[in-house]
Structure 1
Amino acid sequence: MSGSRSAYGAPVSGSGLRERKKQRTREALTDAACTLFARQGVESTTVEQIAAAIDVSPRTFFRYFPSKEDVAVSVLDQQLTEVIRALEARPPGESVLTALRRAVVGTVRAHEDAGSGDGGIRLRSVRALLLSSPTVRAASLHRGALRSGEMARLLAVRMGVDPVRDGRPQLVASIVLCALEAAVAEWQVHRPDAPLSNLLEEAFDLLAGGLDYPSATA
């Protein structure tokens, strides 16, 4: 019996096919969850609803995610991964803030341009992920703190410094992630009709201007 082959004619192993099927199921669960989160909020969405949306059992859901909140955090983590990869790909001659701005804004605009596709669905679901659930928001902040170390290491390379001895890369990474949180909150609460990428551009403009604002009583 002949085995399965890839598009290039090479045999595809059974383990490779299984991994691809598992990845497709994980992606389908994530998309279903994001759609439900955006429509009815995280707290009102059940694991049973997410599983039923792609015609699998709740038991199957729990093979991929410990909880519905973990789906939300995985989406946010994936977006952070995209930003970090984009930062790593920026030209080495760019300054730290320029590289960060282009990585962050470029990643978000790519999702915005995706419209109603996968990227668009996940971007629109950020509102439900971040603000409708205190549990998800706390988990996302914790995840961001963990990923800030990865970002700081890339910034240290760009700056040509040792991140163990020089605290600036970690400080910049932490400040930028907090600025992103603030921009998303502004988008959600006060300016939901504005493109998120525009608010992120504004946040980077403020960072570029410095943080040593004068006292109102001076």
Structure 2
Amino acid sequence: MTRGQTSGAPRPGGPCGLRERKKRRTREALLHTALGLFLTQGYDRTTVDEIVDAVDVSQRTFFRYFTNKEAVAFAVQEAVDARFLAELRQRPASEPPFEAMRRAALNAWSTRGESGGSDITVELQVRAYRMIESTPALHAAHTRRNVGLERQTAALIAEREGIDPETDPRARVAVAAFSGVMRMTGQLWGGRQDAGVDALRELTELHLDQLGPALSGSWRAA
């Protein structure tokens, strides 16, 4: 490179960096505002117009970040699910399926809690979860989304173990059991006053560690 030439890469703090930060702030403002309106006046009663008016942006800006109102409601959950799948893909092949899923779930929350630049805070997760649980239309959509996540997880587990999920049911059975415990844990966590990352990890570990004993052996006292 001769004197006077500059690299094509954007400089830290340059125009590209400023634009990206502005985009993140706009998306975060839309997300926080929408969830706040959903909780105070109800999901069904809240319109896109009200959300954009509160943030002082146009509808065009809203649809640049979210396809519709439901996409805003599930934005937090989608980010959590994506982190879990990413962590699961990185687990060592030597780990048994349940241990790999357990570690992926716990590491996903640890990573989230340590990333100060993320707009997916614990407080936002709690607000989104409680809003979904209290809205019948969203609760039904959440169930459908969970089915999709279970299919992706089962496919990953089957690939790790070298089995065909269409002919070998073990991956689907394992994921169904794991997902059931995770749903129960989420419900317990969402109802607690101390609904932070530490509380979620504590509940998750407690109940996942009981999965094996609950499925095998006798429950009766000796």
Common fold by TM > 0.5: yes
Distance of aligned partners of 1:148 and 1:19 in 2 relative to their CA distance in 1, 3 Å threshold: farther
Change (3 A) 1:118 1:23: closer
Q: Does residue 101 of the first structure (1) align with residue 102 of the second (2)?
A: yes
- When residues 57 and 8 of structure 1 are mapped into structure 2, their CA distance, relative to the original with a 3 A threshold, is closer
Distance 1:168 1:18 in 2: 47
CA RMSD, 1 decimal = 3.7
Give the 5 Å matches for 1:55-204: 55-113=56-114, 118-120=119-121, 121-189=123-191, 191-194=192-195, 195-204=199-208
Match of 1:6 among 5, 9, 30: 9
- Moved runs in structure 1, 4+ residues, more than 6 A? 17-24
Q: Deviations over 1:6-50 (max 9, x none)?
A: 3369xx99xxx9999877754543344345556666456442342
**Amino acid corresponding to residue 147 of structure 1 in structure 2:** L
Is the 2:74–2:128 contact (alpha carbons within 8 Å) kept by the matching residues of 1?
Answer: no
CA contact (8 A) 1:145 1:174 kept: no
Structure 1 unaligned blocks of 5 or more: none
Could you tell me which runs of 5 or more consecutive residues in structure 2 were left unpaired when the two chains were aligned. 1-6
1:210 is displaced (CA, Å) by 3.5
Q: How many residues align?
A: 209
Quick check: which has more Rg, 1 or 2? 2
Deviates more, 1:132-141 or 1:24-33: 24-33
Single out whichever of 74-83 and 41-50 deviates more from structure 2. Answer: 41-50
* Change over 3 Å in CA distance of 1:36–1:200 after alignment to 2: farther
Alignment identity in percent? 35
Q: Normalization by structure 2: what TM-score?
A: 0.74
